[in-house]
Amino acid sequence: MASNNQGNQGGKSNRGFASMDPQRQREIASEGGRAAHEKGTAHEFTSEEAREAGRKGGMARSANRRKAMESGSSHGNSGNSGSSHSSN
């Protein structure tokens, strides 16, 4: 079966939202947001919903940081910027 990716040597598709430049992605997303608001289907957070979402996000981040500290933070930056494990 013949491929439709003619002239595409890298094997990646040049189709779809993810392949667009970031500025064009923002334009399209913005149009969708405006249309939803005009139509009346866009969700608008109440202050209580926003407060709850912020609380949940803070709790999740705190839990992730705690896990990283417990595991020795072997996944890169441990938050000890400037410190070194070698002796001078």
- What residue numbers bound the domain in which 66 lies? 46-71
Tens digits of residue pLDDT in 66-83 = 888 888 755 555 555 555
Domains in the chain: how many in total? 1
pLDDT tens readout for residues 7-56: 455 567 788 888 999 999 999 999 988 898 888 888 888 999 999 999 99
User: Does 55 map to a domain?
Assistant: yes
For residue 21, tell me if it sits in a domain.
no
Helices first, then strands: H and E counts in the chain? 2, 0
For residues 17 and 28, the answer to whether their CB atoms sit within 8 Å is yes
Q: Which phi and psi (to 5°) does residue 69 adopt?
A: -65, -40
Distance CA 85, CA 78 (A): 12
Question: pLDDT digits over 42-59, tens only?
Answer: 888 899 999 999 999 888
Residue 54 lies in a domain: yes
36: which residues sit within 8 A by CB, 6+ positions away?
A: 42
Residue 16 lies inside a defined structural domain of this protein:
no
